[in-house]
Structure 1
Amino acid sequence: MRMTKLTHACIRLEKPGGPAGGNRVLVIDPGTFSEVEEALDGAQAFLVTHEHPDHLDLDRTGAALAADTSLEAWAPAAVAVQLKEAAPSAADRIHVAEPETEFDAAGFHVKTFGSQHALIHASVPVVANIGYLVDGEVFHPGDSFTVPHGVSVNTLLVPIHAPWSKVGEVLDFMIAVGAPRAYPIHNALLNERGTGIAEGHAKRIGAKYGTEYVHLEPGESVDL
């Protein structure tokens, strides 16, 4: 499986076996900070962890769903409603991702974990958030520190910086999941200095607990 990191929280996963001899392509969190058209080019499906715009660009994903009659989407219930309103013609291709369930999307096996966004502040409503484990390999937690239970995660996508977190919580999340390798997501708000500090901690502390943390630039790919 090839994983390409796009800006912020968007990830593109590819593997052989797609239509007409091409690849199967699954995208997670095509948001407003990300290269949505590039991410969804040739994709058969995308997953949305939660409703915040930096994880879902309703206008561009709605346009993609309307234009490509084979494209499917999975999202929490309230987000699925928004997507159906944005692309009424694609309503039958927009599915609700329930917590603690399993399904297949674009030829990938998906298992869901968690149900809530991390707390930002007591005055900010908590929204639904689903974490996705894809093909038993890659875990995208969305905006949460949900630790998948009953499975071993090989590749962890780490929300390295967010208004709702601090570095210590990021490190505790990495330690708790215990994946052999980890890559950053949710980093569009970090400048070069902030990236160096946050990722320096992740590399140093991760290594002590058996996790190799590796920086990826937007557009960079790795084979898993």
Structure 2
Amino acid sequence: MLLTKFTHACVRLEKDGSVLVIDPGSFSEAAEALSGAHGILITHEHVDHVDAAAISTALQASGELQLYAPAGVARTLREENAEAAARIHEALPGESFELAGFAIRAFGGQHALINPQIPVVANVGYLVDENVFHPGDSLIVPAGVQVRNLLVPIHAPWSKTSEVVDFVCSVRAPKAYQIHDALLSELGLQFIELQIGNLSAPYGVEFRHLTVRESVEL
């Protein structure tokens, strides 16, 4: 499986001619990531994870493209894309399904708390092919599985570095890569990644930085 990192939380997975895109949001190169896609996974409703216009264009361009998202996101996208409504599905934590030739398991349920004054929204993390885990905006540790490649949301208004380190050490995936990094300066990114890498290494984790559009075989 080939993983390509786009800006912020968006990644593109390719396997055997099939393309799966996770969280093509407004901070990312969503249209580029979605080119030729067969499946889309959305973790939650925030615009940095779902670019509705780019997704609508992709759904219109391909009659085969399927999408899974939490109920609220799926409902909104169906309303905006009536002709593609049958291809937009609800993703529920605890469920497993196949999408574009990839085996998907859904985890979590809710977004991490930003502030008590801000309502908590649904968030679903996805384990793809028992291989790579994208948690969305949550530090939920997927129970009962051995993640091989972990995508780490390294910075957000809802997190602090110690929590991120604990998450990486708890999952204990052999390989980890950064996502959710668009709000950091270059210096801040380097500092946080150094902390995560150094503190998780004793737990058997190899943390690696991916530049925008860089690809890695998983």
Q: TM-score range by the shorter chain?
A: over 0.9
User: What does residue range 57-72 of structure 1 map to in structure 2 within 5 Å?
Assistant: 57-72=51-66
Deviations, residues 104-159 of structure 1 (Å, cap 9, x unaligned): 00100000000000000000000000000000000000000010001100000000
Q: Distance in 2 between matches of 1:78 and 1:180?
A: 34
1:206 Cα deviation after fit = 1.4
Q: Which residue of structure 2 aligns with residue 50 of structure 1?
A: 44
- Corresponding position of 1:107: 101
In 2, Cα distance between equivalents of 1:113 and 1:93:
21
Q: Does 1:171 align with 2:171?
A: no
Displacement after TM superposition at 1:67 (Å) = 2.1
Per the alignment, residue 120 of structure 2 pairs with 126
2:140 maps to 1:142 = no
SS for the counterpart of 2:138 is: coil
Counterpart of 2:71?
77
Aligned-partner residue type, residue 10 of structure 1: C
Mapped partners of 1:67, 1:222: distance in 2: 28
Tell me the SS of whatever aligns to 2:109: coil
**Percent of aligned positions that are identical:** 56
Q: 1-side partners of 2:80 and 2:168: how far apart?
A: 36
Aligned equivalents of 1:79 and 1:57: distance in 2? Answer: 11
The total of aligned residue pairs comes to: 218
Q: CA deviation at 1:70?
A: 0.9
5+ residue gaps in structure 1? 17-22
177-186 or 63-72: which moved more? Answer: 63-72
The TM-score with structure 1 as length reference comes to: 0.96
RMSD of aligned alpha carbons: 0.6
The residue number in structure 1 matching 2:174 is 180
Q: 1:9 — aligned with what?
A: 9
1:152 corresponding residue in structure 2: 146
Equivalent position SS for 1:115: strand
- Give yes or no for contact 1:63–1:87 (8 Å, CA) kept in 2: no
Aligned to 1:95: 89
